[in-house]
Structure 1
Amino acid sequence: MSFWSYWYFHLPNFVLAAVMYTLLGRMVLGLFVPADWDNYIWRFFRRVTDPYLKLVRYVTPQILSDGVVMVFGVLWLMVLRLGWFFFLLQFGLAPVGGQGS
């Protein structure tokens, strides 16, 4: 089974996973550094995750703190990845395990 055989599954899944793990990295690093830190890694984490967090903040109650919004952001990304898999699986388009080559 080739990567390119299921590119329509793997590419969106990869992008969602990259944002999810970058958000997790930002959460962990945020425990140790100030929010306005000027390090290039911190700026990268913010640049990648800020647009997604704005979207999550839009659908999340305003009373919740930014840390809780980040946790919900990770959870929503997990749900999106699983939803994408099951959506494709329903139509027989998802990669599934089988006999070895």
Structure 2
Amino acid sequence: MDQPHFVFGHLPFWLVTYTLALTAWACLGRFMMSFFLPPESPNYIWRGFRVLSDWAVWCAARLVPSYVAPMYLPLVAMCWLFGLRMLFGIFMISAGWAPRLAPAATGG
């Protein structure tokens, strides 16, 4: 029973899902910190959230109607990213490119 390594055998799956999750959680952190800090704050945590999530917020601004307030764009981006992560995971599982917790059943 020769199965690929749990991490290195499925590296594309892990890289994409972790990148999408990291960016989605950064969007949530950005939204929560926006209540306490001005948009151009020099706070290093705020700048980190901005660096990680700027591309997602930019994309969300182009995908939603213009009447959505800019304050809520990180939340919209977070929802899009978690949805995209779920769809990507389903695709990878259905294609057999995601890791399994249990060995694959063999016909016999």
Normalising by structure 1, we get a TM-score of 0.87
User: Which residue does the alignment assign to 1:80?
Assistant: 84
- What is aligned with 2:38? 34
- Runs of 5+ in structure 1 lacking a partner? none
Measure the CA separation in 2 of the matches of 1:93 and 1:48: 27
Q: Which residue of 2 aligns with 1:8?
A: 12
Question: 4+ runs of 1 displaced by more than 6 Å?
Answer: none
Whole-angstrom distance in 2 between the partners of 1:92 and 1:45: 33
Counterpart in the other structure of 2:106: none
Alpha-carbon displacement from aligned partner over 1:29-85 (angstroms, at most 9, x marks no partner): 112112221212212211221122111101111111123221111111111111111
CA contact (8 A) 2:20 2:81 kept: yes
Structure with the higher helix share, 1 or 2: 1
Q: How far apart are the structure 2 equivalents of 1:29 and 1:93?
A: 37
CA distance in 2: counterparts of 1:37 and 1:7, whole angstroms: 36
Aligned length: 99
1:40-55 equivalence runs, <5 A: 40-55=44-59
Q: Percent identity?
A: 26
Larger radius of gyration: 2
Residue ranges of structure 2 left out of the alignment (5+ in a row): 104-108
Rounded Cα–Cα distance in structure 2 between residues aligned with 1:61 and 1:16:
23
Q: Distance in 1 between matches of 2:45 and 2:72?
A: 22
RMSD: 1.5
Offset at 1:91?
Answer: 1.4
